Structure 1
Amino acid sequence: MLAAARKQLLLTRLRTDGRIVAKELAAELGLSEDSIRRDLRELDAAGLAVRVYGGALPASPAVADYGTRASVATDSKTRVARRAAELIEPGSTVIIDGGTTALATVRELDPDRECTIITHSPTVAAALLSHRAEVIILGGRLFKHSAVASGAAAVEAAQSISADRFLLGVTGIHPEAGLTTGDADEAAMKRALAGRASETFVLGSAEKVGAASRYLILPLDAVAGIVVDREAEDAETVGELERRGVNILR
């Protein structure tokens, strides 16, 4: 089997099975495990898969730049945002992450809702200019890929806040890999924010469910729930998440 055909087969298996175990697939196809691992390394380098111990997981399309992500799964993000906005209760203090689904969430928020929003995203903060909500912005180095403040200054700023809830943006939600994103510093900032809230809910639009990125943010059991799109959910993956005890909000 030619290398191009092998890689296409690997991508098909990632879409249908949600993961590849290199040893098992090599035995099934009668190929060397080294060949499969080499193909997985090349797919990983091309951003088409995420290598893990023993194999690979599907790569998330949500790791693209901010402008590109704005046009990905927009209907799904809106449905998730509508449900997530219900978690911002009157009088509560809520940390809202950066990203396109977070931005969609504040756009779904009742402009007359009296609450406090804390964010490290200038785009989220700007979207709240006409709202009655009090807005607190955390500063730091601008990570342009996600349009959020990051780095040591942002993490330090996060240590001085506390909130009822954190609405967490991710690029991957996978039963085995957990909650992931594509940048190590961004993952650290998200963990810092989660540590300042009484409970964390994940914004899980369709393109993120069943996919994985390189850096772990939190394990599944560290969050209070995941908001998914009832109209476009990956039933098999969501079912596995529920079997693992994850609270799914639709």
Structure 2
Amino acid sequence: MLTSQRKKAILEALECEGQVLATALSKRFGVSEDTVRRDLRELAAEGRLQRVHGGALPASPAVAPFAQRQDMETGAKRRIARCAAAMIAPGQVAIVDGGTTSALLVAQLAPDLEATIVTHSPSVAVALAEHPRLEVVLIGGRLYKHSIVSVGAAAVEAISHIHADLYFMGVTGVHPQAGLSTGDYEEAYIKRALADRAAETVVLASAAKLNAASQYRIGDLTMAQTIIVETATPETLTAPVEAAGVSVVRA
């Protein structure tokens, strides 16, 4: 079998099975594990999969620069954002993550809503500057330009003083085995810290993020109590989430 044929078969197996193991692929193709690992390295370098110990998982496409992600799955993200915005009740403290779906979320908030929004995203804070009734708390720190959010020790310190009702978490990967993941090491720490300070964590997950993984793990699926997906999301993608005990809301 040619290298290109093996790689195509690996990607097809990932799509069907959600993960591949180097040992099993070696036996399937009749080649050494070193050969399979080389194939996996090359596919990972192309952004086609995410390597993990012993094999690989589907790679999330949601790691493109912010400007590019604004045009990805816009309709689905808007529906998810609308559903999330409706969860915020008057008087609550809600943490809103950075990201393109979060930007759409704050645009959906009713003009008469009285609540407090905590965010480490300058763009989210600016979008709410003209809202007549919302209190906005902006967490500072070093700016991570890819997602336009604050990260670092100063941000973690500020987060430690918050008690929130809800945290709307943005992720780049939701996978039954790999859990919740993102593309930046420090951002993963910030998301864990925010989840620790909220009574309920709600993950905003368009279809491209399901059954996919990125380099840095935020935590298990059960870090979230709820995951919002689009209505047309296949049951094959949501069933493992529900099996883990996480509620799935279709928007």
TM-score relative to the length of structure 1 = 0.96
Following the alignment from structure 1 to structure 2, what is the Cα–Cα distance between the partners of residues 154 and 135? 16
Aligned to 1:95: 95
Question: In the TM superposition, what are the counterparts of 1:102-121 in structure 2 within 5 Å?
Answer: 102-121=102-121
Following the alignment from structure 1 to structure 2, what is the Cα–Cα distance between the partners of residues 33 and 48? 19
Q: Secondary structure at the match of 2:62?
A: helix
Aligned to 2:4: 4
Q: Following TM superposition, by how much is the alpha carbon of 1:129 offset from its aligned partner in structure 2, in angstroms?
A: 2.1
Question: Can you list the C-alpha shifts for 1:186-227, whole angstroms capped at 9, x where unaligned?
Answer: 000111111111111111111111111111112111221111
Following the alignment from structure 1 to structure 2, what is the Cα–Cα distance between the partners of residues 24 and 88? 47
Q: Secondary structure at the match of 1:61?
A: coil
Following the alignment from structure 2 to structure 1, what is the Cα–Cα distance between the partners of residues 104 and 70? 10
Q: What amino acid maps onto 1:63 in structure 2?
A: V
- Tell me, yes or no, if the aligned pair for 1:111 and 1:130 is still in contact at 8 Å: no
Q: Following TM superposition, by how much is the alpha carbon of 1:234 offset from its aligned partner in structure 2, in angstroms?
A: 3.4
- Tell me, yes or no, if the aligned pair for 1:183 and 1:215 is still in contact at 8 Å: yes
Aligned to 2:216: 215
Q: Give unpaired runs (5+ residues) of structure 1.
A: none
- Tell me, yes or no, if the aligned pair for 2:80 and 2:204 is still in contact at 8 Å: yes
- Tell me, yes or no, if the aligned pair for 1:97 and 1:119 is still in contact at 8 Å: yes
Q: What amino acid maps onto 2:195 in structure 1?
A: A
Question: In the TM superposition, what are the counterparts of 1:161-240 in structure 2 within 5 Å?
Answer: 161-231=162-232, 233-240=233-240
Aligned to 1:130: 130
Question: In the TM superposition, what are the counterparts of 1:45-124 in structure 2 within 5 Å?
Answer: 45-124=45-124
TM-score relative to the length of structure 2 = 0.95
- Tell me, yes or no, if the aligned pair for 1:94 and 1:118 is still in contact at 8 Å: yes
Q: Comparing 123-132 with 75-84, which one deviates more in the overlay?
A: 123-132
Aligned to 1:139: 140
Q: What amino acid maps onto 1:180 in structure 2?
A: S
Q: Following TM superposition, by how much is the alpha carbon of 1:180 offset from its aligned partner in structure 2, in angstroms?
A: 0.3
Following the alignment from structure 1 to structure 2, what is the Cα–Cα distance between the partners of residues 228 and 89? 21
Following the alignment from structure 2 to structure 1, what is the Cα–Cα distance between the partners of residues 191 and 244? 23
Q: Following TM superposition, by how much is the alpha carbon of 1:41 offset from its aligned partner in structure 2, in angstroms?
A: 1.4
Percentage of pairs with the same residue: 52
Following the alignment from structure 1 to structure 2, what is the Cα–Cα distance between the partners of residues 37 and 8? 15
The answer to whether residue 29 in structure 2 is matched with residue 39 in structure 1 is no
Q: Which 4+ residue blocks in structure 1 deviate beyond 4 angstroms?
A: none
Following the alignment from structure 1 to structure 2, what is the Cα–Cα distance between the partners of residues 71 and 16? 27
- Tell me, yes or no, if the aligned pair for 2:93 and 2:165 is still in contact at 8 Å: yes
Q: Secondary structure at the match of 2:72?
A: coil
Following the alignment from structure 2 to structure 1, what is the Cα–Cα distance between the partners of residues 46 and 116? 41
Following the alignment from structure 2 to structure 1, what is the Cα–Cα distance between the partners of residues 150 and 234? 32
Matched positions, count = 249
Q: What amino acid maps onto 2:156 in structure 1?
A: V
- Tell me, yes or no, if the aligned pair for 2:80 and 2:228 is still in contact at 8 Å: yes
